[in-house]
Structure 1
Amino acid sequence: MAEDSALQLTERKWKMPLLIFFRDARLIFKMDELGSEILRIAVPAAMALAADPIASLIDTAFVGHLGPVEIAAVGVSIAIFNQASKVTIFPLAIFLIFCAKPLLSIMGVKSGSPMLTPARKYLTLRSLGSPAVLLSLAMQGVFRGFKDTKTPLYATVIGDVANIILDPIFIFVCRLGVSGAAIAHVLSQYLISLILLWRLMKKIDLLPPSLKDLQFGRFLKNGFLLLARVIAATICVTLAASRAARLGSTTMAAFQVCLQVWLTSSLLADGLAVAGQAIIACAFAEKDYQKATTAGTRVLQMSFVLGLGLAVVVGLGLHFGDGIFSKDPNVLYIISIGIPFVAATQPINSIAFVFDGVNFGASDFAYSAYSMVSVLALFQTTNEAESSGSYSKHCNHFFLSKTGGFVGIWIALTIFMGLRTFAGVWRMGTGTGPWSFLRGRMLP
């Protein structure tokens, strides 16, 4: 009788799916079979995913010694490139080359701005590497499908080492300035693509696809949903960069440094997202819902701990190491203002990114896309409310960036990431969609 009562108590306890996030939290550091599998996939994946942001961070450090105008120009160009690269491939290069000036104008770099010339040079040259960037991302996805995260890591490390070597040569020795930084980055991206293609050809036979075997309907549906989600996610960061550019080259330079550190450190959590996605996808395919739940909660708990660690490392690192990126006292002062936001948001960012992997592993592409678009729409709605004097204007991205300047931009980004995290908690925590089995289910 006592055992039956205990079982009933446990069953009632886990009928609240929200509590699932705290399940077996004491096992977070346990190196059992699941923990080992997560780390085996996550560590190489994290290093590979962070490689490109690290390369951009290195570019930022080298360019920062040319002056605040140059680093601000590179920041605006990277924001445009990152947004456009989510949509197209070969047409992207042509589009960015011929539309660089109007795009920079939209971002707040007007014809009389000292940022225009270096930004235009960097964006035009960087666009030549867009085919390599997207092809390498696609091939990395193929390797992850095989649960092979080491090959992409080796390729990106080789490419980034080449970038590090070429940066000072092109920027300072050849005196190409920001153009040299762009050329070095483009060459490194093509090197990464060639290495991945070589390894992929040794692993599988690359044959022309048969039209009758391609599932166009499923591909287009999921592809469109993922595209909508990615565009919505990157629009917010692009808008933030645009607002920073309108505040002047000094503010934009500081924002570029903070943003690159923010993204690079946060993307380390994407390794856990990749691990969660791979393990959960296999578990769902085998209808092993307990393993799917255990893997999901474990990677989320690990992401929170990772975020806390990153908060300390990033906060101290940026506080004592900001001189690596610039010697301008005004830029350094504004960077110091952004450090608390860059550091404090690390746990939120880590959880948000890992929730993406959890959703993808559960094939919950529709919710992932709709929730992201809804979060973006919230900013747009509050922008309209702001013009009519609504109280909600205080949460609006544009309102904050105009009145609070640099601080306002980071408050807005914090709200954005907080909403992304909330969307993930809501889906799994309420036991809806693919997680409906959590409702009323006893999970021993």
Structure 2
Amino acid sequence: MTESEATTASSAAAGRVSARQILTLAVPTLGVLAANPLYLLLDTAVVGRLGAFELAALAAGTAIQSTVTTQLTFLSYGTTARSSRLFGAGRRRDAIAEGVQATWVALAVGVIIAAVVITAAPWLAFWLTGDQTVATETTSWLRIAAFGVPLSLVTMAGNGWLRGIRNTRSPLYYTLAGVIPGAILVPVLVARFGIQGSAMANLVGLSITAACFLAKLLRSHDGGWAPNGGIIRRQLVLGRDLILRSLSFQIAFLSAAAVAARFGAPSLAAHQILLQLWNFITLVLDSLAIAAQTLTGAALGAGSVGAARAVGKRVTAYSIIFAALLGVVFAVGAGVIPGIFTTDDAVLTAITSPWWLLVLMIILGGVVFALDGVLLGAADAAFLRNATIASVLLGFVPGVWLALLFDWGLTGVWCGLLAFISIRLIAVVWRFRSMRWAVVHVERTGDGPVGEKGDEN
């Protein structure tokens, strides 16, 4: 453990979490989280210059790719929760061992998912778009991009264990090592190969980043390398709830893309721009949430409920301020920002009304994502699962499908997404104030469960 790591851990345990300590974790994490969405925004802008047809195909492809990869977010968030508790309890070696087992899961599941996507790409693309021409173009993109699925999951696992041991700088370096070459290649390969060039550039960047994380794990771990069924099983217990939570997210956003597509290619293209901007904004806010997750896990691992509560309050305050500033930027830039991604008049018209719903979602997200981080750090995954599913069923589903039934267009779709965020806001605020998430149990051995919550969910 380095001197800075020890200082952060001891301060968190004692309830003396400072703004500097939070920002030391959050700023590099912001770079990691922002890098990929920024890359996707560049990708969207480059492909958007080809036309609404190509942009619609990219929208469908990225929606499918996101759906199949983000189900495994427990490889990052769940691993962070487990590793940070072990680290807070002074067990750095066990915290790194969590990364070894998470990487085995990433490789095994990633290969299976890639094979399924390559095989089912034509059917998935047509189901989402309802247009055979767009689906054919989407399929060509997916069959290249699918090879990056195992690489994405390895990267998730790497981010998870490194955040757990307070190392947020290395993930930033590794991410930039892949994103920068990919960004350079995007305009070159798209100009030469069309939308397929977008997938090729993405694959190059993912390969570099995953290789860096694997090399770091090889240098850091000094124990066994064989898959450990006990640890993997405990990871999957936590992962089960996070997978269901992620699946709920994806049902919401995939359905939104499907409904947007029914209003025509311009609506789907406008939805793609809005969605990529939303993804960028939420991951920016998530940088503070991940700092909260790491510090909350360490505080509970060290037995300090007071420190965990202090982290939640402070991070939420910072996140609200940050979200408000972002909201102002997007409100002022309403007439300028969409034009960066497309010059198509039909797409720009479709994006006008939903833009203001996006601005409101940004402001509400300041609270939602900060408290999500606290609850994830407490391994309160079952509650988050239930809250997300309820938000989908009570907020998103009625809104988005009524938009289709009554022809409310893209604005109706984004009203459903706003309802989804609003219900989550109510749920996480109530849970944080209840303090039922603050459990200090840490497993006795490397094979036991971290942060089990019994029947409190």
Whole-Å separation in 1 of the counterparts to 2:390 and 2:246: 13
- How much has 1:35 moved relative to structure 2? 0.8
Q: Which residue number corresponds to residue 49 of structure 2?
A: 65
**Is structure 2 residue 445 aligned with structure 1 residue 426?**
no
- 1:162-203 deviations in whole A, cap 9, x for unaligned? 11100111011x2x1100011101111111111222223223
Whole-Å separation in 1 of the counterparts to 2:172 and 2:334: 25
Q: Is contact 2:403–2:409 with CA below 8 Å preserved after alignment? A: yes
Q: Is contact 2:278–2:358 with CA below 8 Å preserved after alignment? A: yes
Counterparts of residues 256-275 of structure 1 (less than 5 Å): 256-275=272-291
- 1:384-436 deviations in whole A, cap 9, x for unaligned? xxxxxxxxxxx532112442111001100111111111110111123434389
Letter in 1 for 2:34: A
Letter in 2 for 1:203: S
- How much has 1:344 moved relative to structure 2? 2.0
- 1:65-96 deviations in whole A, cap 9, x for unaligned? 00001111101111111111234411111111
Choose which of 174, 192, 208 in structure 1 pairs with 2:225: 208
Q: Which residue number corresponds to residue 41 of structure 1?
A: 25
Q: Is contact 2:375–2:437 with CA below 8 Å preserved after alignment? A: no
Q: Which residue number corresponds to residue 254 of structure 2?
A: 238
Whole-Å separation in 2 of the counterparts to 1:329 and 1:83: 29
Counterparts of residues 111-190 of structure 1 (less than 5 Å): 111=132, 114-172=133-191, 174=192, 176-190=193-207
Letter in 2 for 1:423: A
Choose which of 115, 118, 142 in structure 2 pairs with 1:97: 118
Whole-Å separation in 1 of the counterparts to 2:331 and 2:189: 31
Q: Is contact 1:319–1:339 with CA below 8 Å preserved after alignment? A: no
Choose which of 42, 57, 63 in structure 2 pairs with 1:79: 63
**Is structure 2 residue 426 aligned with structure 1 residue 417?**
no
Larger Rg belongs to: 1
Whole-Å separation in 2 of the counterparts to 1:134 and 1:336: 35
Q: Is contact 1:49–1:267 with CA below 8 Å preserved after alignment? A: yes
Q: Which residue number corresponds to residue 440 of structure 1?
A: none
Letter in 2 for 1:424: V
Moved over 4 A (4+): none
Cα distance, 1:93–1:435 mapped onto 2, change above 3 Å: closer
Whole-Å separation in 1 of the counterparts to 2:286 and 2:69: 19
- How much has 1:105 moved relative to structure 2? 2.3
Whole-Å separation in 1 of the counterparts to 2:181 and 2:29: 20
Matched residue SS, 2:365: helix
- How much has 1:348 moved relative to structure 2? 1.3
Q: Which residue number corresponds to residue 271 of structure 2?
A: 255
Letter in 2 for 1:292: A
**Is structure 2 residue 356 aligned with structure 1 residue 335?**
no
Identity across the alignment (%): 29
Cα distance, 1:221–1:248 mapped onto 2, change above 3 Å: same
- How much has 1:237 moved relative to structure 2? 0.8
Whole-Å separation in 2 of the counterparts to 1:92 and 1:313: 38
Cα distance, 1:314–1:292 mapped onto 2, change above 3 Å: same
- How much has 1:289 moved relative to structure 2? 1.7
- How much has 1:355 moved relative to structure 2? 1.9
Whole-Å separation in 2 of the counterparts to 1:64 and 1:119: 14
Matched residue SS, 2:167: coil
Q: TM-score, normalised by structure 2?
A: 0.81
- How much has 1:279 moved relative to structure 2? 0.8
Q: Which residue number corresponds to residue 9 of structure 2?
A: none
- How much has 1:128 moved relative to structure 2? 1.4
Larger displacement relative to structure 2 (83-92 or 44-53): 83-92
Matched residue SS, 1:50: helix
Counterparts of residues 3-18 of structure 1 (less than 5 Å): none
Q: TM-score, normalised by structure 1?
A: 0.83
Whole-Å separation in 2 of the counterparts to 1:206 and 1:45: 27
Choose which of 374, 397, 406 in structure 1 pairs with 2:410: 406
Whole-Å separation in 1 of the counterparts to 2:128 and 2:167: 39
Matched residue SS, 1:424: helix
Q: Which residue number corresponds to residue 281 of structure 1?
A: 297
Letter in 1 for 2:320: F
Letter in 1 for 2:117: L
Q: Is contact 2:129–2:135 with CA below 8 Å preserved after alignment? A: no
Cα distance, 1:398–1:206 mapped onto 2, change above 3 Å: farther
Larger displacement relative to structure 2 (348-357 or 292-301): 348-357
Whole-Å separation in 2 of the counterparts to 1:266 and 1:215: 31
Whole-Å separation in 1 of the counterparts to 2:228 and 2:279: 39
Computed over aligned residues only, the root mean square deviation of the Cα atoms, in angstroms, reads: 2.0
Q: Which residue number corresponds to residue 130 of structure 2?
A: 109
Letter in 2 for 1:378: L
Letter in 1 for 2:140: K
Q: Which residue number corresponds to residue 8 of structure 1?
A: none
Please list every run of 5 or more consecutive structure 2 residues that lacks an aligned counterpart in the other structure: 1-15, 72-108, 441-457
Cα distance, 1:96–1:210 mapped onto 2, change above 3 Å: closer
- 1:102-161 deviations in whole A, cap 9, x for unaligned? 1122213332xx322221111221111111111111111111011111111111122111
Letter in 2 for 1:116: A
Q: Which residue number corresponds to residue 336 of structure 2?
A: 320
Q: Which residue number corresponds to residue 9 of structure 1?
A: none
Letter in 2 for 1:41: L
Whole-Å separation in 2 of the counterparts to 1:308 and 1:163: 32
**Is structure 2 residue 400 aligned with structure 1 residue 397?**
yes
- How much has 1:40 moved relative to structure 2? 0.3
Letter in 2 for 1:185: N
- How much has 1:317 moved relative to structure 2? 3.7
Letter in 1 for 2:27: V
Whole-Å separation in 2 of the counterparts to 1:217 and 1:189: 27
Count of equivalent residues? 387
Cα distance, 1:433–1:153 mapped onto 2, change above 3 Å: closer
Whole-Å separation in 1 of the counterparts to 2:338 and 2:317: 31
Please list every run of 5 or more consecutive structure 1 residues that lacks an aligned counterpart in the other structure: 1-31, 384-394, 437-444
